[in-house]
Structure 1
């Protein structure tokens, strides 16, 4: 990962974790708690891809495991966010940017359900049965609802900050290659100069490659004409 990505990802993750622990966790909402940290990881993974998404997810989950008042095994949420960040990064298009907001919202909904199920599954493996007492169905519904309501105010902001801090070269070449000197510049050099030479705007020197190319074209035309005349004579005979 680049230094800009590490810096901006660490800053956003720390801010999201502080807001979640100090504000969202104290709202006492029914069911699950809005997962601002998950939405931040999703926004960064949608911009940086699956590899960076997995690394950021693991680091963010590890911070959440160590931050008070965490009462679960260390590494549990790190594993969940690592898998979620990797899977969300796989949905990044080749152009580097999503054309509409539908795909990110679908990713948020699937991630909310998947993270809850993975968290409960890992907890069952280590002997944590808290999800059974609360009710897994209620957790799934409330987690998905809260994350979808919070996503329009979080994910686009995170994605915009991530792109501005460390622009994607794929999106730059896709959007700016035609204007700033990509294929158009090559076409302008080849097509434009060739057009001027063909019109006679620039006089080539004698003995240059252009004259040789023209001379070769005239010789080939003359040769083709003579060969055609010979073929016609043979046909006449």
Structure 2
């Protein structure tokens, strides 16, 4: 990723992680906890694509594994967000932007459900039975509902901030967008080779002259002098 993308992703992930740990984790809601970090990864993946979503998801998940009060194995949530970010990035259209909010909301719902299932599945492989004790169905339903309620306030904002730094020619944003591609084509269409030339004009002797400036005037005068001399010889 470019430097601007990296800085923006790092800033958004850091803010989301701080809010997640200090605010959302202390709400004591029934069932799961709203996952602001997951929504940030999904918003960036919808703009950056599958490669950017995979990288952002891995880094965000690794920070969540290391941040207190994490009580699970390091790398567990990094694996989950890496897979979810990659899958969400695959939904990025060729035009670079989604035409409606339907696809992002479906991605959020699928991401919330799949992240819960993957987290519980990886926990079962390493011997963590917390999801089984709480109830996987309860966690799945509440996580999806909470993330869908929080998504309209976070995902569009994250996507808008990411698009401001996006210079993909397919999106039409930034200096490398469609405006930048159309400019050379229209410039060639108007000016040809780009040289400043004058339109051809009819001379006194019926010939077209396409060369402008003082040089064309000197050539026309020399031509008139030669014709005058020839006419004088004929009269003699």
Instruction: State the TM-score, normalizing by the size of structure 1.
Output: 0.77
The residue that corresponds to 1:32 in the other structure is: 32
Q: 1:162 Cα shift?
A: 1.1
For residue 171 of structure 2, give the secondary structure of its aligned residue in structure 1: helix
| Distance in 2 (alpha carbons) for counterparts of 1:90 and 1:174 | 22
- For residue 202 of structure 1, the aligned residue among 192, 199, 202 is 199
Q: Name the structure, 1 or 2, with higher relative contact order (CA <8 Å, separation 6+).
A: 1
Question: Take 2:20 and 2:122, find their aligned partners in 1: how far apart are those partners?
Answer: 22
Alpha-carbon offset, residue 172 of structure 1: 2.0
d(CA) in 2 for partners of 1:147 and 1:167?
Answer: 29
More helix by share: 1
List gaps (5 residues or longer) in structure 2: 193-197, 202-207, 212-236
* Structure 1 residues 170-201: Cα deviation after superposition (integer angstroms, max 9, x where no partner): 212799866x35347525643x568xxxxxx9
Aligned to 2:90: 90
Decide whether the 8 Å contact of 2:200 with 2:210 is kept in 1.
no
- Alpha carbons 1:95, 1:174 under 8 Å: kept: no
Task: Indicate the residue corresponding to 2:138 in structure 1.
Answer: 138
In 2, the alpha carbon distance for the partners of 1:38 and 1:5 equals: 18
Distance 1:2 1:193, change over 3 A: closer
**Partner Cα distance (2:34, 2:76) in 1:** 18
Larger radius of gyration: 2
> Which residue does 1:233 correspond to in 2?
none
Superposition misfits of 4+ residues, deviation over 4 angstroms? 173-178, 204-208
Shift of the 176–3 alpha-carbon distance from structure 1 to 2, 3 Å rule, reads closer
TM-score (structure 2 length as normaliser): 0.78
Q: What displacement does 1:165 show? A: 3.0
CA distance in 2, matches of 1:36, 1:132: 23
Q: 1:182 to 1:5 in 2, by over 3 A?
A: closer
Supply the RMSD in Å over aligned alpha carbons.
Answer: 2.4
Q: Map 1:145-184 onto structure 2 (within 5 A).
A: 145-172=145-172, 180=179, 182-183=181-182
Pair 120,166 (structure 1): closer, same or farther in 2 beyond 3 Å: same
User: Which residue in the other structure is 1:11 paired with?
Assistant: 11
Cα distance, 1:169 vs. partner? 3.2
Aligned length: 200
2 CA distance for matches of 1:105 and 1:68? Answer: 30
2:65 touches 2:74 (CA, 8 Å); kept in 1?
yes
1:117-140 alpha-carbon deviations (Å, 9 max, x no partner): 000000000000111110011001
- Superposed displacement of residue 207, structure 1: 10
Distance (Å, rounded) in 1 between the aligned partners of 2:174 and 2:58: 31
The answer (yes or no) to whether the contact 1:8–1:162 under 8 Å persists in 2 is yes
SS across alignment from 1:182: helix
Assess if the C-alpha contact under 8 Å between 2:8 and 2:162 holds in 1: yes
Alpha-carbon shift at residue 163 of structure 1 (Å): 1.3
Deviations 1:27-66 (A, max 9, x none): 0000000000000000011111111110110000000001
